[in-house]
Structure 1
């Protein structure tokens, strides 16, 4: 299979951009990047579902679940986060279940629900700003 040079260059550029974003990022910025990736995966899953591209939908939902489970939920700090960490863990668990059902049933409403639930959390995290992120080095 032939991949055009422009596509390979764009892919390399995107990878370097991601690596550059991660290098030297604060914990707060890393969580912001996780939310960005999560929301992008959900949007791509919805687009794939609308196009009836079931394989792509499954890949994007799988990526979203990994971000939730391994990134966002895995980064919660019960000792420092207390009730907020508990509530976020419950939300992430619910969203993981919802995404699994949405994937199995090709259910755009389930995907939309997860976006609706997580978008305010992602936006709030961005509004907290870097100052608060540096003060909570251990995460939530």
Structure 2
């Protein structure tokens, strides 16, 4: 079995797993599922950059950008106050950095985005834990 076929099979499994987790999730848990998928895809993009699989890198980063755009568009600007505006700016910054990474192949840029999003994910996890 080729590496390509194994990757394709794994991607199919991940897609089904993600759909099942999303269907059973509360709104807070759904954000965590999205963050987990985003962080996982960032790790895959890193592997693609390191292995010089640039077409795969492009697809991974496109998935990341789509998730970030989805998270940003789901923000409640009317009722969220300053925190929502700060989150929107942070998502926009991550989108900007990932767009730059796509061109420059900068692992440092990828590190920065992973760190920022990892910190946000921890914050959402804490919010979810407090809500029970």
Both structures adopt the same fold (TM-score exceeding 0.5): yes
Deviation at 1:128, TM superposition (A): 1.5
Query: Normalising by structure 2, what TM-score?
Result: 0.86
Across the aligned residues of Structure 1 and Structure 2, the Cα RMSD in angstroms comes to: 2.4
2:23 maps to 23
Deviation at 1:66, TM superposition (A): 0.5
The question of whether the paired residues in 2 share the 8 Å contact of 1:102 and 1:108 is answered with yes
**In the comparison of the two structures, how many residue pairs are matched?**
130
Structure 2: gaps (5+ residues)? none
1:113 maps to 112
Structure 1: gaps (5+ residues)? 134-140
Give the greater-gyration-radius structure (CA): 1
* Worse overlay, 21-30 or 97-106: 21-30
Shift in CA distance, 14/114, structure 1 to aligned 2, threshold 3 Å = closer
Cα deviations across residues 52-71 of structure 1 (Å, max 9, x unaligned)?
Answer: 111111111111011001x2
The question of whether the paired residues in 2 share the 8 Å contact of 1:28 and 1:130 is answered with no
Q: Distance in 2 between matches of 1:62 and 1:76?
A: 20
Query: Normalising by structure 1, what TM-score?
Result: 0.81
